[in-house]
Amino acid sequence: MLPVPLRTLNDGGVIPALGLGTAPLDDTRTEEAVAHGLRVGYRLIDTGAVYGNEGGVGRAVAAAEVPREEIRVLTKLPGRHHGYDATLAAFEESRGRLGLEYVDLYLIHWPLPRLDKYVDSWKALIRLREEGLVRSIGVSNFTAEHLDRLEKETGVLPAVNQIEMHPQLPQEELRAVHAEKGIVTLSYSPLGRGTGLVQDPAVAAVAAAHRVTPAQVILRWHLQLDAVPLPRSGDPTRRRDNLDVFGFELSAAELARVGDRARIRIGYDPESHEEF
């Protein structure tokens, strides 16, 4: 298996080009998945306070033989703690559950525009970064308009925006905004979470041509669109295979074939979703 290349962030930090998803695995299954993931080469781990599995991530990181500085732990602020002081307090709780001195990436999980407190939370994240408790700060499920507001009101752009992305939701417009602003796209539900994408005949044909699995083709599609996919699997063999995607390349025609499908959003609409 080839090593995972690194991506440079707009704050000078680096993250691996592919990471490990954990939701909706419970705390115990997350600990097992992350411990195995770290053994086979994952170095970027995605979690969130609302997932209820930060403890499992922390235990796996603490027990791993991998040096802490090689690992990137990403966690997220829940909606119920939006606001400046509430964000600082929620971060401390997450850091405690993770058992870490510092968190590599801290993200606002959802913008909750109706609540209108995400700019205050963003200011708290800027402070956490200045204090060295967080290495890089970012957002999740933010639209172009939300990103613009952060930039206008604070002058600080997120290093990453974690968004739903897969061949049924390629996010061309938002990715163009990210490219212009130097924000790295992290793709969640990268395999299309149970929508049958991994069983799709067109994807299977491309996979057969490269002697790889359909999931590997889909992950390669993300990498070649400059996105950092965060696949989740409860299965050790699939988890390992999902990381083994750096030894082949899709042609432009294959990329188009994988992406040529009806648009489907699996998750929630960031403009209206309220998750506390």
Ligand X SMILES: NC(=O)c1ccc[n+]([C@@H]2O[C@H](COP(=O)([O-])OP(=O)(O)OC[C@H]3O[C@@H](n4cnc5c(N)ncnc54)[C@H](OP(=O)(O)O)[C@@H]3O)[C@@H](O)[C@H]2O)c1
Q: Give the binding site for ligand X (CB under 6 A).
A: 21-23, 46, 140-141, 162, 188-194, 198, 213, 215, 230-235, 238, 241-242, 267
The smaller minimum CB distance to ligand X, of residues 146 and 152, is found at 146
The smaller minimum CB distance to ligand X, of residues 225 and 230, is found at 230
The structure tokens listed for 229 are: 């996919």
The smaller minimum CB distance to ligand X, of residues 21 and 95, is found at 21
Which amino acid belongs to residue 63?
A: A
To ligand X, the closest distance from the beta carbon of 148 in angstroms equals: 20
To ligand X, the closest distance from the beta carbon of 75 in angstroms equals: 10
Catalytic member of 42, 51, 106, 118:
51
To ligand X, the closest distance from the beta carbon of 195 in angstroms equals: 9
To ligand X, the closest distance from the beta carbon of 108 in angstroms equals: 10
Query: Cα separation of 120 and 87, whole Å?
Result: 9
| Contact call for residues 190 and 216 (beta carbons, < 8 A) | no
The smaller minimum CB distance to ligand X, of residues 44 and 157, is found at 44
Taking CB positions, which residue lies at the least distance from ligand X?
A: 21
Angle between helices 118-130 and 84-98 (to 10 degrees): 50
The smaller minimum CB distance to ligand X, of residues 42 and 188, is found at 188
To ligand X, the closest distance from the beta carbon of 52 in angstroms equals: 12
102 is catalytic: no
C-alpha of 212 from chain center: 23
To ligand X, the closest distance from the beta carbon of 46 in angstroms equals: 4
Task: For the chain, give the DSSP string.
Answer: -PPPPEEE-TTS-EEESS-B--TT--HHHHHHHHHHHHHHT--EEE--GGGT-HHHHHHHHHH-SS-GGG-EEEEEE-GGG-SHHHHHHHHHHHHHHHT-SSEEEEEES---TTT--HHHHHHHHHHHHHTTSEEEEEEES--HHHHHHHHHHHS---SEEEEE-BTTB--HHHHHHHHHHTPEEEEESTT-TTSSGGG-HHHHHHHHHHTS-HHHHHHHHHHHTTEEE----SSHHHHHHHH--SS----HHHHHHHH-S-----S--TTT----
The smaller minimum CB distance to ligand X, of residues 177 and 233, is found at 233
Please identify every residue annotated as catalytic: 51
